[in-house]
Structure 1
């Protein structure tokens, strides 16, 4: 599962017993050699789809990690790109790997996605593989934050892989991982929130609509379809109207306590 350049079992154990922020600080130097990094095929497919949706001027990669999504934004945004993450270690690696690249101006900001320090200055927000770090009750606040940094007519886009069928080995693998994490968090502090099965399409669509977004699902044809005909991977495109109304759920938009 890991390349020789990836973390050792001992390193993973230390990271898993840390907070989310500290764990990713420790993992950062070897993160790109783990399965946790979004595969290049997904990044390329999302970039191709966004080029058909654009053009965009300014883009934000939410929970950018080592900057894989920033590379997508550099291909679809004309003026500037920003990566935001709460792990200083991940941002250090992202800055290092972005040096010397041509394209729009890139900046890096350390901040919590649940309290973004930006004005509504972006046309596009993307995120890759980060939503397992947010509990379902945090989605209203998270989506309200995304809405707050987008200009009217702006887009929030992210890929979503279809969940494995209950009879498949993948289903039981994810269920087992989530169960282990819940037991770990019941017995150990600080918490490390990472639940692969908590981000459900129905909940996501409902909370995006409540935050004022119109939601469109685009199949990513590069990944084909399942036997029932449904796409294996979708791109969720949540767009604000040109004159965005106030969201219907402001009373629910507060974020939970910091997990750091």
Structure 2
């Protein structure tokens, strides 16, 4: 799962026993060599779809990490792109890796639950960050996204279909979430990272209640499951106006 350039087992253990912010500060220099970074295939598929729905003027990558999603926004936004994350370590790596061409990019350290922006963005994206939010935090998170979008703005993110119950993937994710819950019951500060807490039904309901109109777009690059449903969808939530 990890390349030779990735973190050692000891480094992962230290990070897992830290807070989320401190853990990602420590992980940042090697983050792109871990399976936690969104694969290029997903980034490319999302970028391809967004190019068909754009162009956009200003874009925001929510919980940008080392900036992989900012690269997607740079392809579809004409005026400016912003990456926001609460890990100073992640932002430092993102700044070093930012492409020299394209629209101007700015980096802001902030918590996604309290975004320091007015309604200035046409597009907000996020990749792989929602496991760090508890289900009860999603209404507030979606309200924050709405608050930074202009009328008619869009909030887009990929969502992988959950593994079939009883499959190896199902037991892997269940085991990971169980370990994290035990860890957080016994150790402080907590490290919130749950892979099974972000469910499509809850997401659609929460976005609708926040005032979005929700569309689902299959990403055909990843095929379909045996029941015919897409393996990966792009959730596209749009504000009226």
TM-score class normalised by the smaller sequence: over 0.9
Q: Tell me, what secondary structure is at the counterpart of 2:234?
A: strand
* 1:68 counterpart residue number: 68
* 1:248 counterpart residue number: none
RMSD: 0.5
* 2:105 counterpart residue number: 106
* 1:163 counterpart residue number: 162
| Whole-angstrom CA distance in 2 between matches of 1:7 and 1:114 | 29
- Structure 1 gaps of 5+ residues are 243-260
| Whole-angstrom CA distance in 2 between matches of 1:45 and 1:192 | 30
| Whole-angstrom CA distance in 1 between matches of 2:128 and 2:6 | 18
| Whole-angstrom CA distance in 1 between matches of 2:72 and 2:184 | 34
Shift of residue 53 of structure 1?
Answer: 1.1
* 1:56 counterpart residue number: 56
Shift of residue 167 of structure 1?
Answer: 2.0
4+ aligned runs moved over 2 Å, structure 1: none
Q: Tell me, what secondary structure is at the counterpart of 1:218?
A: strand
What CA deviation, in whole Å up to 9, does each residue of 1:72-124 have, x standing for no partner? Answer: 000000010000000000000000011x5200000000000000000000000
Q: Tell me, what secondary structure is at the counterpart of 1:170?
A: helix
* 1:193 counterpart residue number: 192
| Whole-angstrom CA distance in 1 between matches of 2:212 and 2:100 | 33
Shift of residue 173 of structure 1?
Answer: 0.1
* 1:250 counterpart residue number: none
What CA deviation, in whole Å up to 9, does each residue of 1:11-58 have, x standing for no partner? Answer: 000000000000000000000000000000000000000011112000
| Whole-angstrom CA distance in 2 between matches of 1:229 and 1:201 | 16
- Structure 2 gaps of 5+ residues are none
Shift of residue 231 of structure 1?
Answer: 0.2
* 1:247 counterpart residue number: none
TM-score (norm 1): 0.92
TM-score (norm 2): 0.99
Query: How do 1:117-156 and structure 2 match up within 5 A?
Result: 117-156=116-155
* 1:209 counterpart residue number: 208
| Whole-angstrom CA distance in 2 between matches of 1:52 and 1:239 | 15
* 1:251 counterpart residue number: none
| Whole-angstrom CA distance in 2 between matches of 1:166 and 1:240 | 35
When the two structures are aligned, how many residues end up with a matched partner?
A: 241
Does residue 96 in structure 1 map to residue 89 in structure 2? no
What CA deviation, in whole Å up to 9, does each residue of 1:231-258 have, x standing for no partner? Answer: 000000000001xxxxxxxxxxxxxxxx
| Whole-angstrom CA distance in 2 between matches of 1:138 and 1:23 | 20
